[in-house]
Homo-oligomer: A and B are copies of this chain.
Amino acid sequence: MSKKDKILIIGAGLCGSLLALRLAQRGYKIELREERPDMRKTDISAGKSINLAFSDRGIKALKMVGVVDKVFPLCIPMTGRMIHSIEGETFLSPYSARDGEYINSVSRGQLNGLLLDEVEKFDNVTLQFNSKCTSVDFENNTVGCFDNISGVEEKINATIIFGADGAGSILRKEMFLQRKILFSYSQQFLEHGYKELSIPPTESGGFKTYRNALHIWPRGEYMLIALPNLDGSFTVTLFLPHKNSEYSFSELNTDEKVNKFFQKQFPDALELMPNLIEEFQNNPVGNLGTIKCNPWNYKGKTLLIGDAAHAVVPFYGQGMNASFEDVYVLDQYIKKHEGNWSKILIEYEKDRKKDADAIGDLAVENFYEMRDHVANPIFKKKRQIEMELETKFSYYSKYSMVTFKEDIGYNEAKRIGNAQDKALLNLIANNRVEGLSIEKIFELVKKEVSEILDDDKIAKTMHH
């Protein structure tokens, strides 16, 4: 294809904006459509934007487009999890024992706004808000878009169409419903939902609790987290079962019940949350779902990307980073096969699918680890050993590999990380690390991990 041919990107969220920016830099003619109004002018969060944790995979992608230095000023580094016990005690569990390995709290709106500003600098991009995708004609590569302001419906034809339209992707839904191909599809909801709350800044604009951490109040069946914002506030998210539990969103249906619940479970957080009741009443309950599908492309001309292809739950802080990495990986294939879009899309999908599946699984697994962090002494012991290993050796825990080793794919990080977790947990549970030096433990872990991986490999030849 010639660079004069048109590329349509549906969705100008984080993924769509970055994709548009990269393709614009490469000289393509881009049509970028977004259903919502311009977020730089309207608050469209509606209490439903879990704060984002920006980390190395996302950084890699934003370096590629040369905007990462503009992003860091919007970030607050979080060096670890600040665990709040029910008695109000806190301890900081660092994300890594190495310097420079931390994650960054950033506002979705500010980051998306920045990317849109960059996109608009390019003449070869047409960006239109309030333009909703309503139909897809896959055979003719044509999409129907309805303008929410003018009420006009238009047909847009493009050589290549990207569906970057998020977890509720219309493009994906059409792939599913039109049944032109065998479309494997999975949507899995947790029994938990979430509600966004907040800790406001102090009167002088300072932070009411420790600034540089992701705060967690883990309580088994439920969990509260808080991420810092530049203005001194924290965005707080409550995770709670939808129903069928002593405390659930359907149970907490009066102000009194909400207050009592917080007094009992999160007393130190409650003190920092003067607007709790009002926010609890006004903010909606969100669902937590993982979406996987296959294939992502239709005949090498249409491609799902970002959340549209692989929505994940937020518990690994990787949703945005995974979507940014999608664009990074896609760009490698554009570099390799420029001019042959069909090859680019198909090879990208083949490479990327396993990693997208892996981060979907990892994020669900991490939910349980986060919730149970305090309750389980084996987890604490494991984390402590991991920190020692990371301090003294070239050792990367699963969390570190997923979060900080952007040169290892998610799938590989999951495979090795789960073997490490299994080895450590079993060594601890069977009292095999008691009294050993960290050097000995390191040798033992390496040996066990290698055996686990070998055994899994042989068994796996059976199940492919």
Contacts and interface: CB of A to CB of B under 8 A. Distances in A.
Interface in A400-431: 418, 421-422, 425-426, 429
Interface in A449-464: 454-455, 458-459, 461-464
A455 B430 CA distance: 10
B368 A464 contact: yes
Contacts of A454: 426
Contacts of A287: 182
Contact of A421 (B365, B425, B426, B459): B459
A281 interface: no
Main secondary structure of the interface of A (DSSP, over half): helix
Contacts of A463: 365, 368
Contacts of A25: none
Contact of A429 (B378, B418, B458): B458
Size category, A interface: 20 to 34
A436 to B, nearest CB: 18
A421 B100 CA distance: 44
Contacts of A379: 462
Given A183-B187, A185-B185, A185-B187, 7 more contacts: A182-B289, A186-B186, A365-B463, A376-B461, A421-B459, A425-B462, A429-B458
28 contacts: A182-B189, A182-B287, A182-B289, A183-B187, A184-B187, A184-B188, A184-B189, A184-B289, A185-B185, A185-B186, A185-B187, A186-B186, A365-B463, A368-B462, A368-B463, A369-B462, A378-B461, A379-B462, A418-B459, A421-B459, A421-B462, A422-B458, A422-B459, A425-B461, A426-B454, A426-B458, A426-B459, A429-B458
